[in-house]
Amino acid sequence: MYVHDKKEDCCGCTACMTICSVNAITMENDEEGFKYPKINEKKCIHCNMCRKVCDFVKQHDWDALPRPVVYAAKQKSDKERAASQSGGLFAALSDAVLAMGGVVYGAAYDGEWNVIHKRAETKKARNEMRGSKYVQSDMQDTFHRVGEDLKNGRIVLFSGTHCQCAGLKSLLETCRVKTENLYLVDIVCHGVPSPSVYKAFRDFMENKYHGEIKGFEFRNKKFGWHNTVESTWINGQEYDTMLYRDIFYGDNALRPSCYQCPYKNVVHTSDITIGDFWGIEKWAKDFDDTKGISLVLINTPKGKILLNRISNNIALKESNTVDCLQPCLQKPVSRPATRDQFWQDFENKPFEYILTHYTNDYGWKTHVKKTIKKTAKTVLPGSAIVFIKKVLRKS
């Protein structure tokens, strides 16, 4: 028996597992690699707290919440920004909490490049959390550890997706844990892909290049913030692709709940929301230096206090909820018509088939198209190039 009858109703945050007083709930993988809370009926005492604590299925009155104060932001240190995927705000905010003797929770890699939530008390440990992670993080016992830190009087910064932050907040409120020392920082989220697909991609890269992965970045800014690539390091060589990102943005590999996510709104329940400030070049071109700009939404007075603590280290430009709008702040992604076929193919066919049929950067057709475009630019007039592009799009 599972906590919810429909997979669309569960974001996998682990609040239900954590609140269970008899440890009757475990998070178990389904056939797509997503974790869902399963109830041991022999242990269950039918208190129903697992369903009461679930924020994902609650009714949310976003209009009743205050609108955020919006900023474009970037760390003044180019070195700090280079180590981050956008403007370096997570590092700056977490530095402030660490300087107060606090602890930081965020998504990081384990020893096998799986993405899990970790706890950090030093900058070195926190640095593992920097950078985008385009896969659902394994929360393990993170919510329990956050609660214990707060009970022990520690200052805590928890970063994660909006559903993770909302789940943690609901858990702590339900358990009456004081949260004045808690800073919730959620990440603007497109959706969370399956860890199984991410592992299949890693296995493919290791087999193709005959070695173990020694480094991986979902978004390497070596060509600039607007032109990032995913980079994999194997046998001392760097391999740049867009393969996994194509699968991610194709939306077939996302968790079922992502297609009806209730948190896709410019209003958030966390203290601070951060992400990339896409579109900054349209209204503040002078602020965009191609090194990365963060979008910052200040949702609570507590969030404003934390932002003020880092004001000497960052450059800010006030914006508004119109100029900052991007699809992730308006509505969930739509469930693709190809999703069922994708998962059938993923289960029954080699991963190379997935890359050939569900990405734009793999297979002989892709290479032929790139070669034609590259050659055309050097020998043909502009009108002919436009015609060729139209033909290639249809192919």
Q: Which pLDDT tens digit goes with each residue over 226-235?
A: 999 999 999 9
Name the one residue in this structure whose structure tokens are 């993923």.
346
Angle 148-154-155 from CA coordinates, rounded to 5°: 120
Higher pLDDT, 257 or 1: 257
Residues above pLDDT 90, as percent of the chain: 88
* Angstrom distance (rounded) from CA 25 to CA 14: 9
Beta bridge partners of 294: 73, 276
pLDDT in the model for residue 373: 54
Q: What is the pTM of this model?
A: 0.90
* Angstrom distance (rounded) from CA 277 to CA 324: 7
Average pLDDT value over all residues in the chain:
93
* Angstrom distance (rounded) from CA 182 to CA 154: 9
- 348-385 residues labelled b (16+ CB within 10 A) or e (exposed): eeebeebbeebbeebeeeeeebeeeeeebeeeeeeeee
Residues above pLDDT 70, as percent of the chain: 92
Asked whether the predicted pLDDT for residue 255 surpasses 80, the reply is yes
Residue-wise pLDDT for 141-183, tens only, equals: 999 999 999 999 999 999 999 999 999 999 999 999 999 999 9
116 SS3 class: strand
151 SS3 class: helix
Supply 375's token pair: 């050659």
* Angstrom distance (rounded) from CA 311 to CA 103: 20
**Nearest of 363, 334, 298 to residue 191 by alpha carbon:** 334
pLDDT in the model for residue 361: 77
CA distances from 301 to 130, 182, 298, 390 (A): 25, 13, 8, 51
Residue-wise pLDDT for 314-327, tens only, equals: 999 999 999 999 99
Asked whether the predicted pLDDT for residue 277 surpasses 60, the reply is yes
Asked whether the predicted pLDDT for residue 312 surpasses 60, the reply is yes
Residue-wise pLDDT for 343-393, tens only, equals: 999 999 999 999 999 999 776 555 555 556 555 556 566 556 556 555 554
Residue-wise pLDDT for 16-65, tens only, equals: 999 999 999 999 999 999 999 999 999 999 999 999 999 999 999 999 99
Please say whether the beta carbons of 144 and 203 come within 8 A.
no
Please say whether the beta carbons of 264 and 177 come within 8 A.
no
Please say whether the beta carbons of 370 and 362 come within 8 A.
no
